[in-house]
Amino acid sequence: METEANNNESWPVPKFYFMVDWGETKDIPFQEVSGLDIEAQPIEYRRGNSPVFSEISMPGLAKNSNVTMKKAVFAKDNNFWDWYTKVKMNTIERQNVVIKLMDQDGNPAMTWTLSNAWPTKISSTDLGADGSEVAIESIEISHEGLTIANA
């Protein structure tokens, strides 16, 4: 006989309930996060005395994708710009960024941690006199590593 707890664990977690924390700023209300990718770059190799006439493929350096985050524009909210302006000649304020996918009870079901992240690009909203959408801004950040943890 299945208990209610086991029944809840068999359902996939929806992707719309998530939180983002960086540095001192907690629970930033983002609309979208994309680019949580990591890949191992393959190295093709064949040793000189190999009797096989083909290369082998080995894992090489890890390659982290830039992460893009989008959120609504709020009056007097300069978090993106404040962080970006700290990028100076060879001095960058690096921060850990934590993205948490929440379950129905508001607890983290899965967590992505970006180590030593820093902003590479900010995109402001487009403007149009005939639009009725919310103004959206985005930030693209680079990082030195991605760690994934499940609850």
Ordered by where they begin, the domains of the chain are 11-36+65-150 (2.30.110.20)
Question: 129 CB contacts (<8 Å, ≥6 apart)?
Answer: none
Instruction: Give this prediction's pTM.
Output: 0.81
Split at pLDDT 50, 70, 90, the class of 41 is very high
Question: pLDDT class for 7, splitting at 50, 70, 90?
Answer: low
Q: How sure is the predictor about 80, in pLDDT bands with cuts at 50, 70 and 90?
A: confident
How would residue 5 be classed by pLDDT, with cut points 50, 70 and 90? low
